[in-house]
């Protein structure tokens, strides 16, 4: 009942006329991941004698409810020509519930609407978050019809929807593609209407990955693949997916990869446990299976610096690793995915290896402002230096690859790099002269896993100010240790690649974080030497004299 009241209140706010706030706190929000909480709305058509403002307000209410009636009522507020031209699903512009709409009149007597923007949803389901000060401005031109009633004759394509209504009508979807060597799944986060989730997800999966990710992944789904005439039916926990005959060209192990991509995408629905592929009603036999992971973490080791010595923390104690000549100032540790994988750290102006074999450290990179490193699943070590802005460098077995990063906003220097578990993506924290940003990039690799290029960055984490550290917590989300604008104490925030941020927890004195799988795997280090592990709603003390904790990655 409380949720329904909140939703109805959000609709009522559309009718309010008030001043637009120009200051106040940033509100971090995220739409829920459930797909079975659809709330149906039924709006009323225009009333006789309505003013232009009332027509616009009624249209907004009806269009927000349009996913339930295919926008039939919303079009009653439009002239026949405007109704014919309007494309409601071209974009969904999401506005903040805490900043109510403001309606005014322009010099031409059009009704102008101003709202605080939280983000936009594009037609392919990609979410683009707005920065905290972003504002949506749109205008509606009206004229009287033959009956003397006001109707909208000109408007922008798309929908305007409050964040509360968006949460009730749309669900998070994860499309799954393949790494270039087909060893792992690569997720692509989208958002689709709940009542057409399966159809939209399958359609977009067949069309391919988001542009920013496309060069780093492959797909076993051939061009031209589409849903067959029977579409998708769900019964008894099984989604029967009808395919066109384009899929008949897929043979051998590629069928197993095709099937895995579809299954991993559709079984996110709570009422789908199995997927059956059909061509014209006949089961499409796959034969082999492909057991691929979108988050290949394995059994991570926790490495932590204790008294200037990199140590393995296990079962309540830290044991120094067998290393010689380790500099006392080594920090920013990073560790790979196997027992024999690389361990690296920063000492002064040098990136060094820390062999767990008794051998002396080896300098990989030297220069001012060494980028906090990451070790990927192929055991490549990633870093850079401030004197080469916009360049990341990867190392493995004596090989070195320099990769240009086309940083937006005029460029800047990179603070840290965090390669995803499957190795096809990375999060980069970088700074311009005035601000700190967080961006996601695609990593294009050769057949042997060697990095070959970096894709164009997309900004994530809009609304964060000082970003102290970042750690992956699942296949689509990182945790960021950061402050909000005007804040002084950092908190930990969940930042999806293609969604809005949400607060995980407040922290005091934290300087670095690491994580395994999920928010409950978070581990942080404080400025006074404590190392803490997430435990329920609080933290459990692991060490009192540690720093720079690092799990795989």
% residues pLDDT > 70 (the chain)? 93
Q: What is the pLDDT of residue 266?
A: 96
Per-chain mean pLDDT for the chain:
89
Confidence band, pLDDT 50/70/90 cuts, at residue 176: very high
Q: Which pLDDT tens digit goes with each residue over 446-475?
A: 988 999 999 999 999 988 999 999 999 999
Of the listed ranges 2-11, 116-125, 403-412, 534-543, the one predicted with least confidence: 2-11
Task: Say yes or no to pLDDT of 22 above 50.
Answer: no
Confidence band, pLDDT 50/70/90 cuts, at residue 40: low
132: left (phi over 0), alpha (psi -120 to 50) or beta: alpha
Task: Say yes or no to pLDDT of 533 above 50.
Answer: yes
The single-letter DSSP state of residue 46 is P
Q: What is the pLDDT of residue 336?
A: 95
Q: Which pLDDT tens digit goes with each residue over 96-120?
A: 888 777 889 999 899 999 999 999 9
Confidence band, pLDDT 50/70/90 cuts, at residue 41: low
Note whether 180 and 451 are within 8 A (CB): no
Long-range CB contacts (within 8 A, 24+) of 51-56: 51/150, 52/109, 52/111, 52/140, 52/142, 52/150, 53/17, 53/103, 53/111, 55/142, 55/150, 55/151, 55/152, 56/103, 56/111, 56/113, 56/140, 56/142, 56/152
Q: CA 4, CA 382: separation in Å to the nearest integer?
A: 48
In this prediction, residues 438-449 reach a mean pLDDT of 94
Q: What is the pLDDT of residue 64?
A: 87
- Of 298 and 8, the structure prediction assigns the larger pLDDT to 298
This prediction has a pTM of 0.88
Confidence band, pLDDT 50/70/90 cuts, at residue 187: very high
Task: Say yes or no to pLDDT of 157 above 90.
Answer: yes
Q: What is the pLDDT of residue 289?
A: 86
In this prediction, residues 134-160 reach a mean pLDDT of 96
Q: CA 477, CA 511: separation in Å to the nearest integer?
A: 20
Q: What is the pLDDT of residue 12?
A: 37
Hey, what CATH topology would domain 302-550 get?
Answer: Neuraminidase (2.120.10)
Residue 39: partners with Cβ closer than 8 Å, 6 or more residues away:
3, 4, 7, 168, 169
Q: What is the pLDDT of residue 360?
A: 87
Domain with CATH 2.120.10.30 in the chain: 302-550
Using the structure block, give the residue that is written with the tokens 């391919």.
208
% residues pLDDT > 90 (the chain)? 75
Task: Say yes or no to pLDDT of 15 above 60.
Answer: no
Task: Say yes or no to pLDDT of 540 above 90.
Answer: yes
Confidence band, pLDDT 50/70/90 cuts, at residue 32: very low
């Amino acid at each position: 009942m409380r949720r329904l009241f909140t939703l109805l209140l959000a609709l009522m706010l559309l009718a309010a006329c008030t001043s637009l706030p120009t200051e106040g706190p940033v509100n971090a929000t995220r739409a829920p991941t459930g797909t079975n909480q659809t709330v149906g709305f039924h709006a009323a058509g225009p009333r006789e004698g309505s003013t232009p403002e009332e027509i616009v307000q009624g249209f907004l209410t009806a269009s927000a409810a349009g996913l339930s009636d295919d926008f039939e009522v919303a079009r009653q507020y439009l002239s026949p020509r405007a109704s014919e031209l309007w494309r409601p699903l071209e974009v969904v512009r999401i506005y903040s519930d805490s900043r109510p709409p403001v309606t005014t009149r322009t010099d031409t007597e059009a009704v102008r609407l101003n709202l605080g923007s939280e983000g936009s949803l594009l037609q392919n389901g990609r979410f683009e978050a707005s920065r905290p000060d972003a504002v949506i401005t749109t205008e509606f031109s009206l004229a009287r019809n033959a009956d003397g009633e006001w109707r909208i004759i000109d408007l922008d394509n798309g929908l305007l929807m409050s964040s509360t209504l968006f949460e009730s009508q749309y669900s998070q979807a994860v499309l799954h593609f393949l790494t270039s060597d087909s060893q792992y799944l690569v997720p692509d986060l989208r958002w689709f209407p709940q009542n057409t989730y399966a159809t939209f997800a399958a359609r977009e999966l067949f069309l391919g990955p988001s542009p920013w990710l496309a060069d780093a992944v492959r797909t076993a789904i051939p061009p031209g693949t589409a849903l067959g005439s029977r579409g998708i039916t769900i019964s008894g926990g099984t989604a029967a997916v009808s395919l066109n005959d384009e899929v008949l060209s897929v043979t051998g192990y590629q069928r197993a990869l095709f099937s895995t991509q579809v299954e991993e995408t559709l079984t996110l629905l709570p009422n789908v446990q199995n997927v059956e592929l059909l061509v014209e009603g006949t089961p499409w036999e796959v034969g082999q299976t492909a057991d691929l992971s979108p988050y290949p973490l394995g059994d991570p080791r926790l490495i932590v610096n204790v008294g200037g010595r990199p140590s393995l923390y296990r079962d309540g104690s830290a044991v120094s690793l067998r290393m010689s000549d380790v500099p006392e100032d080594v920090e920013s540790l990073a560790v790979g995915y196997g027992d024999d994988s690389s361990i690296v750290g920063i000492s002064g102006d040098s990136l060094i290896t820390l062999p767990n074999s008794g051998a002396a450290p080896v300098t990989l990179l030297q220069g001012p402002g060494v980028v906090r490193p990451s070790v990927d699943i192929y055991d490549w070590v990633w870093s850079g230096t401030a004197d080469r802005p916009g360049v990341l460098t990867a190392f493995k077995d004596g090989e070195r690859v320099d990769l240009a990063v086309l940083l937006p906003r005029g460029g800047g220097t990179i603070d840290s790099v965090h390669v995803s578990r499957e190795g096809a993506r990375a999060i980069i924290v970088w700074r311009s002269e005035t601000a700190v940003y967080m961006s996601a990039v695609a990593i294009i690799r050769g057949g042997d896993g060697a990095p070959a290029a970096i894709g164009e960055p997309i900004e994530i984490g809009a609304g964060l100010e000082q970003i102290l550290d970042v750690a992956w917590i699942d296949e689509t989300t990182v945790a960021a240790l950061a402050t909000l604008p005007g804040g002084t104490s950092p908190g930990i925030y969940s930042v999806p690649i293609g969604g809005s941020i949400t607060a995980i927890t407040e922290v005091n004195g934290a300087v670095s974080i690491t994580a395994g799988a999920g928010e409950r795997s978070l581990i942080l280090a404080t400025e006074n030497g404590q190392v803490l592990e997430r435990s329920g709603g609080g933290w459990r003390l692991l060490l009192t004299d540690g720093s720079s904790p690092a799990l795989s990655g």
